[in-house]
């Protein structure tokens, strides 16, 4: 672990027999570092979430906002039982929580001015905004429900005000405006001078307009 960028975070508060300890820990860390987003991987799917600053950094996840009966989606829940790894992040840094040999571990990455990085904007699924079965708005509580292409693959990203990035009349236009911003940190070999990426972290979500 690169000491200039990373540091270990205590996870002593998290107990596998108490779901609330995970939620409380995530909210506490998000508040301390002013993180905005959550992206988790579980046995039953990917989980997007965000922290509500007005509610003392309360976690809101996509499964809470978009119910199966109204939106024909079945998003994974944030549960200790099925969680594999979880990232909470923002402009100030990223915390990664993961399980290794039945024990939880966590590390914090914060940018260091002395370490060079490159910026990547990774394109995410989503060519149109979805509505509910009865016309319910697909943009609510800080999320936008997106589907992709003719297969209609769906996910809900913690980003809003996206309607202007999509064609309101032509769903065949397969432009994907949502970007996941990533920092890749670079290290140079002492002998050859060759650069390589040795560490990466998530930074933010954004939307980017297509070329007209």
User: Is residue 75 one of the residues assigned to a domain?
Assistant: yes
pLDDT(132) > 60: yes
Are 95 and 133 contained in the same domain?
A: no
| CA–CA separation, 129 and 92 (whole Å) | 30
Predicted local distance difference test score (pLDDT) of residue 20: 97
Q: Under DSSP, is residue 133 helix (H, G, I), strand (E, B) or coil?
A: coil
pLDDT(171) > 90: no
Q: How many CB atoms lie within 10 A of CB 138?
A: 21
Q: How many CA atoms lie within 13 A of 82 on its CB side?
A: 12
Predicted local distance difference test score (pLDDT) of residue 206: 97
User: Is residue 212 one of the residues assigned to a domain?
Assistant: no
For residue 111, the Cα-to-chain-centroid distance in whole angstroms is 18
Predicted local distance difference test score (pLDDT) of residue 172: 61
Domain limit, last residue, from 82, 110, 138: 110
Per-residue pLDDT of 52-85, as tens digits, reads 999 999 999 999 999 888 898 999 999 999 999 9
pLDDT(1) > 60: no
Domain limit, last residue, from 77, 110, 143: 110
Are 177 and 106 contained in the same domain?
A: no
Q: Give this prediction's pTM.
A: 0.92
- Number of compact structural domains in the chain: 2
Are 54 and 75 contained in the same domain?
A: yes
Are 124 and 80 contained in the same domain?
A: no
Q: Would you place residue 4 in the very low, low, confident or very high pLDDT band (cuts 50, 70, 90)?
A: confident
User: Is residue 29 one of the residues assigned to a domain?
Assistant: yes
Mean pLDDT of 165-194: 86
pLDDT(49) > 60: yes
Are 84 and 134 contained in the same domain?
A: no
Mean pLDDT of 158-184: 86
Are 121 and 106 contained in the same domain?
A: no
Mean pLDDT of 111-133: 93
Are 38 and 101 contained in the same domain?
A: yes
Are 21 and 80 contained in the same domain?
A: yes
- Domain containing residue 143: 117-207
Predicted local distance difference test score (pLDDT) of residue 127: 93
| CA–CA separation, 76 and 85 (whole Å) | 13
Backbone angles phi, psi at 29, to 5 degrees: -70, -40
Are 47 and 138 contained in the same domain?
A: no
Cα three-residue angle 56-61-63, rounded to 5 degrees = 145
């Amino acid at each position: 672990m690169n000491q200039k960028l990373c540091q270990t975070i205590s996870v002593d508060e998290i107990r596998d027999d108490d779901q609330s300890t995970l939620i409380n820990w995530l909210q506490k860390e998000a508040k301390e570092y002013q993180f905005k987003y959550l992206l988790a991987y579980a046995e039953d799917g990917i989980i997007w979430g965000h922290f509500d600053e007005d509610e003392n950094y309360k976690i809101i996840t996509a499964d809470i906002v978009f119910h199966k009966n109204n939106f024909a989606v079945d998003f994974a829940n944030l549960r200790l039982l099925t969680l594999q790894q979880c990232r909470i992040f923002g402009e100030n840094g990223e915390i990664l929580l993961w399980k290794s040999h039945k024990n939880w571990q966590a590390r914090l990455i914060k940018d260091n001015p002395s370490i060079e990085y490159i910026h990547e904007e990774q394109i995410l699924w989503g060519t149109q905004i979805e509505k509910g079965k009865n016309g319910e708005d697909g943009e609510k509580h800080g999320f936008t429900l997106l589907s992709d292409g003719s297969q209609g693959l769906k996910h809900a990203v913690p980003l809003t005000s996206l309607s202007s990035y999509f064609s309101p009349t032509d769903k065949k236009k397969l432009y994907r405006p949502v970007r996941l911003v990533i920092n890749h940190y670079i290290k140079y070999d002492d002998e050859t001078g060759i650069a390589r990426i040795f560490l990466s972290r998530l930074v933010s979500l954004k939307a980017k307009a297509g070329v007209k």
